[in-house]
Amino acid sequence: MTPGEQLAAFLRHVAQTSDSPLALVVERAEGSTLHVAGGRQYLDLLAGIGVAALGHGNQRVLDAIAAQAARHLHVMVYGELVQETQVALAARLASLLPAGLGCVYFTNSGTEAVEGALKLARKATGRSWLMSFHGGFHGDTLGSVSVGGNPLYKTPFEPLLPNVTQIAFNDLSALQHIDERYAGVIVEPVQAEAGVVLPAPGYLAALRKRCTEVGALLIFDEVITGLGRTGTLFAFEQHEAVPDVLVLAKALGGGLPLGAFVASRKLLSCLAHDPALAHVTTFGGHPLSCAAGLAALEVILEEKLPGRAARVGNWLVDKLRRRLPPPAVVGIRHAGLLIGIEMQSPALASAFTAACRSEGLLLGWTLHDDKVVRLAPPLVISEAELDEASLRMERALARVLAPTKTARS
Ligand SMILES: Cc1ncc(COP(=O)(O)O)c(C=O)c1O
């Protein structure tokens, strides 16, 4: 197919998620660069929305996939057979987590892991109520939408799960609404789609305390923050708050689809009884995904990428604050290499994003705050690439702010 034919088929036969897809025709991806049809290159500052932590085409990940493909692909539904890459990844994750997070239930995606965590909270506590936060995002299946924090994306799909409430993020007094009726509370340690909103100091610890007081399970959704992006392997490590259930996905599969919810063995065992097989998945923990994920995790650890994300994130944001000054840019928030650039208006954010694209930069939106432009580059992206990116962003902003030329000028 020619690039033009691919684009036409994409628009005609691939279901669309909006009227304005990026619609770049991908040729290949390498490191932090996306090569598209026509010989154009984009510096990838989104990493597939946080998936490609090692950039594109990491050799160790590719080798692990090839070795596993030669050995076996899918052999049985999740939970029946002992598959080496799956158990090795579960054991490695457990070795990196506190004792109460020693058992992993693998899924195919983030939203599926969220669904599992919500079901676990209800079954383990025998309670039905679920609490989440305004601005939160947990995926697009019905349970995840029910705990989502933006009515715009919920209303068209109502009725959703009953007994779900939302409170304001970072509001200590609102924690009193979490009481003994609640099975679980789900929260992103950094609210990404809300526009990269960081927890206030002590907030997640206070939330932990409240959940313990009332016996509700605390679920941290680290689908985007996990695996090093925010400066530690898991974002919760920065907050003196260990969850009862940890949800992972995105970077977990090293570029292949993989999610997980992690808890204690005792807690997760309630999904295996009364009745048995009440929560199963065909493809969850696919051997290829686990092989890729295990290789990626080892590289993340060996190359100390969480620490690098913290250091390079600070360095980049410092640069961006000088190159993207107020008033057009209201502020820049970040946790490691999860960065939100808040612009003066949605129109400016959209024009800036488009101008960046014409400068060969791929960066993007956040779902719940259209004034905020998000960066989530590969954790391995070089300082030279980021310096170049920040210069192009400076140029893009200047172009967007330049007075429109009249026909006579
Ligand atoms: C915090 C968070 N949770 C859950 C999800 C859903 O993950 P998935 O798209 O893999 O279903 C996302 C996806 O962006 C996310 O950012």
* Burial class for 388, CB neighbours closer than 10 Å (0-12, 13-18, 19+): middle
- Using CA positions, which residue lies closest to atom 16 of ligand 1? 224
Residue 331 burial by CB count (10 A; 0-12/13-18/19+): exposed, middle or buried? exposed
Q: What pLDDT was estimated at residue 404?
A: 62
Would the pLDDT of 407 be above 50? Answer: no
- The yes-or-no answer to whether 3-58+304-401 and 59-302 have a common fold is no
pLDDT in tens, 26-74: 999 999 999 999 999 999 999 999 999 999 999 999 999 999 999 999 9
Q: Is 149 in the pocket of ligand 1 (CB under 6 A)?
A: no
Q: Which CATH number is associated with domain 3-58+304-401?
A: 3.90.1150.10
Ligand 1 atom 8, closest CA: 110
Looking at ligand 1, which atom is closest to the CA of residue 114?
4
Confidence of residue 298 (pLDDT cuts 50, 70, 90): very high
Residues 6+ apart with CB under 8 A from 259: 106, 107, 108, 109, 110, 111, 112, 113, 223, 247, 248, 249, 252, 253, 284
- CA–centroid distance, 19 to ligand 1, in Å, is 21
CA-CA distance, 105 to 120, in Å (whole number)? 11
Determine the distance separating the centroid of ligand 1 and the alpha carbon of 241, expressed in angstroms.
21
Catalytic residue among 119, 220, 236, 250: 250
Cα 110 to middle of ligand 1, angstroms: 5
Look at ligand 1, atom 14, and give the residue with the nearest C-alpha: 139
Question: Number of C-alpha atoms within 13 angstroms, CB side, residue 164?
Answer: 22
137 given a catalytic annotation = yes
Question: What pTM value is reported for the model?
Answer: 0.97
Residues in Cβ contact with 53 at an 8 Å cutoff, skipping those fewer than 6 apart: 47, 227, 228, 229, 251, 254, 296, 300, 305, 378, 379, 380
249 lines ligand 1 (CB under 6 A): yes
Give the residue, by CA position, lying nearest to ligand 1 atom 3: 138
Task: Supply the mean pLDDT for the chain.
Answer: 97
- Cβ of 115 below 6 Å from ligand 1: no
Q: pLDDT tens digit string along 143-159?
A: 999 999 999 999 999 99
Known catalytic residue at 283: no
3-state SS assignment for residue 177? helix
pLDDT at 405 over 80: no
The answer, yes or no, to whether any atom of ligand 1 lies below 6 A from the CB of 138, is yes
Q: Decide whether any atom of ligand 1 lies within 6 Å of the 111 Cβ.
A: yes
Mean pLDDT of 313-338: 98
Question: Atom 4 in ligand 1: which residue has the minimum CA distance?
Answer: 138
pLDDT at res. 365: 83
Nearest protein Cα to ligand 1, atom 2: 138
Per cent of the chain over pLDDT 70 is 99
220 CB less than 6 Å from ligand 1? Answer: no
Which of 106, 169, 220, 221 is flagged as catalytic? Answer: 221
192 touches ligand 1 (CB under 6 Å): yes
Residue 223 CA to ligand 1 centre (angstroms): 6
Contact residues for 277 (Cβ-Cβ < 8 A; gap 6+): none
Which entry of 137, 169, 261, 352 is annotated as an active-site residue? 137
Q: Which atom of ligand 1 is nearest to the CA of 139?
A: 6
The rounded Å distance from CA 75 to ligand 1 centre is 27
Q: What is the CATH number of domain 59-302?
A: 3.40.640.10
Distance 214 CA to ligand 1 centre (A): 27
So where are the chain's domains?
Answer: 3-58+304-401, 59-302
In short, whether 223's Cβ falls inside 6 Å of ligand 1 is: yes
Torsions phi, psi of 34, nearest 5?
Answer: -105, 125
Q: Is the pLDDT of residue 402 over 50?
A: yes
User: What's the burial of 214, exposed, middle or buried (CB within 10 Å: 0-12/13-18/19+)?
Assistant: middle
pLDDT tens for 207-265 read 999 999 999 999 999 999 999 999 999 999 999 999 999 999 999 999 999 999 999 99
Ligand 1 center–CA 2 separation, angstroms: 32
